[in-house]
Amino acid sequence: DTGVSQDPRHKITKRGQNVTFRCDPISEHNRLYWYRQTLGQGPEFLTYFQNEAQLEKSRLLSDRFSAERPKGSFSTLEIQRTEQGDSAMYLCASTLGGAINEKLFFGSGTQLSVL
């Protein structure tokens, strides 16, 4: 499978714990995005990378959230001191190219439940 893969598919954690998600984009895709999606809503932008550089972060992304993309390949999203409001589907997407209008390829997401 050469699509975008995310791990784990599901994560259940207790409030206050730290969690880390991984995204492996399609190889050679230089742009990588993280989104958050809650039931009944469209995806909400969190952050994006061009190669290894994190170029933009949403104002919604509190200091408990951090993302990395070392070497411009896979990316990790860490949430520290999780809260119940963090429960959502976390989506990763990647694309190739410098044009603003390139389509995104999405992974199946990581469903986070904070108890």
For another protein, the closer of residues 45 and 74 by Cβ is 45
Contacts 24+ apart (CB under 8 A), 96-99: 96/26, 96/28, 96/29, 96/30, 96/31, 97/30, 97/31
For another protein, the closer of residues 42 and 70 by Cβ is 42
The two counts, helices (H) then strands (E), for the chain are 0, 11
- Least distance between another protein and beta carbon 56 (Å): 6
For another protein, the closer of residues 17 and 104 by Cβ is 104
* Number of neighbouring beta carbons within 10 Å of residue 8: 13
**What is the maximum alpha-carbon separation in the chain?**
41
- Least distance between another protein and beta carbon 52 (Å): 16
- Least distance between another protein and beta carbon 2 (Å): 14
For another protein, the closer of residues 19 and 23 by Cβ is 23
Binding site residues, another protein, CB under 8 A: 3-4, 31, 40-45, 48, 56, 91, 93, 100-101, 103-109
- Least distance between another protein and beta carbon 78 (Å): 21
Q: Are 74 and 80 in contact (CB under 8 A)?
A: no
